[in-house]
Amino acid sequence: MRRRSDDEMMASLDNSSPFLLLTTRFSRFTVIAWPDNTELVSIAFDLRPDDDVTLFPQYAIGLHAWFLDCVRRSDSDLSAYLHDGQSEKPFTVSLLHGETPVVGRQLQLRVDRTYRWTISLLSPQVVRWAKTWLETPPNAIDLRQAKLQVRSIELPNAPTTYRELYESAESATLKLSFLSPTSFRHRHHHFPLPVPTNLFHSYLRRWNDFSGIPFDPEPFLDWVDSHVVLRQHRIESHKVAAGKRGSVTGFTGSIELSVSLAARRQNPDYARLFAALGTFAPYCGTGHKTTFGLGQTELGWFAESVEIPSEQTRIAERIEDLTERFLSLQKRTGGDRARKVCETRATILARREFGESLQSIADDLEMPYDTVKSYVKLARRTLRQLPN
């Protein structure tokens, strides 16, 4: 995607664009709010570090934590809801868009480069909070390793409601591009393919949780399986560390989906829902771990390949290798609990091997420092019991 220049951003503001929130060219931030009935909004921050800095490959944990801390400091009830109150999270966060070369085992951010980070909000409650929050918008995002100054804030996707998405949806063809590794859960494993039923099951879960316009999943997904055709794709797979523990194999790239005229005439409600969910995808993301930067989705076909920094792949491969080694010593390996324990130990040890401090790991995982220290010792002792 082409980034707009500073002059283009200024021209947008001069023309009183309703979707430009603020710019640091002014002595103070100028805030332009969205309508009170808004239910869906994406907020893009253009960021620049004070100096050349490095970030740990799993920096998305820090972005996730920074956003939740902003909520916690201003609305304790909403904070509790975001942590514990629902099956689907009403927000997503992206990775940083911009060049991040590898320096040592870290990712470098340059002082002369601008990086874009996006939050999408999926429920009226969170959107109302954000409207108040941005009345005095943040000057910087502090990731512990790096402080990123906020240069401007925009709304990349128009603020809208679920009803507006549904009633305006008409397209029989969808082109979707996946800008960060995207994967689905399948029998305790990751499934890195854009199968239509998986895509629309992912979107419909969030839609049913937040829209107030629910649809019965089973008949709709049967209709998708019968009538939605994957016309073309250009995808590739990547392995990355994801969330607070473990690794994920996901896909990036672009696909084109379509529905026949006969299928649309036979069930116009499902055809409209197909189009609405496609338009919903850039807000809600695709697949799992979308609150940690995975599954970022945009409308359209993107010609450029997605580049994943090599260190993000290397640490993911190390986590996967360690997890399988630790699982091999477990008496019971069939359940979720054993895998989660092994993934946690593997993640802690891999991050330590890649140079992360024990305190930083403990903070990210919200675990006591002494527990993390004990996990590292235990993990190293376990490895000595295994053949090389």
d(Cα 153, Cα 19) in Å, to the nearest integer?
Answer: 9
| Region at 187 (left for phi over 0; alpha for psi -120 to 50; beta for the rest) | left
Whether pLDDT at 59 is above 60:
yes
Contact at 8 Å (CB) between 284 and 119? no
- Average pLDDT over every residue of 252-270: 95
Architecture of domain 162-299: 2-Layer Sandwich (3.30)
What are the residue boundaries of the structural domains of the chain, listed by start? Answer: 6-154, 162-299, 310-384
Cα 331 from Cα 329, distance rounded (Å): 6
Point out which residues pair with 103 in neighbouring strands: 106
Whole-model pTM?
Answer: 0.87
Taking the domain 310-384, which CATH number applies?
A: 1.10.10
pLDDT reported for residue 303: 79
Please state the φ and ψ torsions of residue 155, each to the nearest 5 degrees: -110, 100
6-154: CATH topology is: Alpha-Beta Plaits (3.30.70)
Across the range 244-266, mean pLDDT stands at 93
What are φ and ψ of residue 75, in 5° steps? Answer: -155, 95
Query: How many other C-beta atoms can be found within 10 angstroms of the C-beta atom of residue 266?
Result: 12
**Cα dihedral sign, 17-21-27-28:** positive
Q: Cβ atoms within 10 A of the Cβ of 68, count?
A: 16
- Give the lowest-confidence range in 119-128, 276-285, 341-350: 341-350
**Cα angle for residues 383, 387, 388 (degrees, 5° grid):** 85
For 63, the enclosing helix (H) or strand (E) is helix 60-74
Identify the helix (H) or strand (E) that includes residue 176: strand 173-182
CA distance 388 to 376: 18
Q: Are 133 and 56 in contact (CB under 8 A)?
A: no
Q: What is the pLDDT of residues 290-310, one digit of tens each?
A: 999 999 999 999 978 888 888
Min mean pLDDT across 34-38, 54-58, 84-88, 113-117 is at 84-88
Does this chain's domain 6-154 share its CATH topology with 162-299? Answer: yes
Q: Hey, what are 357's tokens?
A: 């401090």
Q: Is 118:110 a contact under the CB 8 Å cutoff?
A: no
State the Cα–Cα distance between residues 330 and 385, nearest whole angstrom. Answer: 13
The span from the CA of 234 to the CA of 385, in Å, is 43
DSSP state letter for 40: B
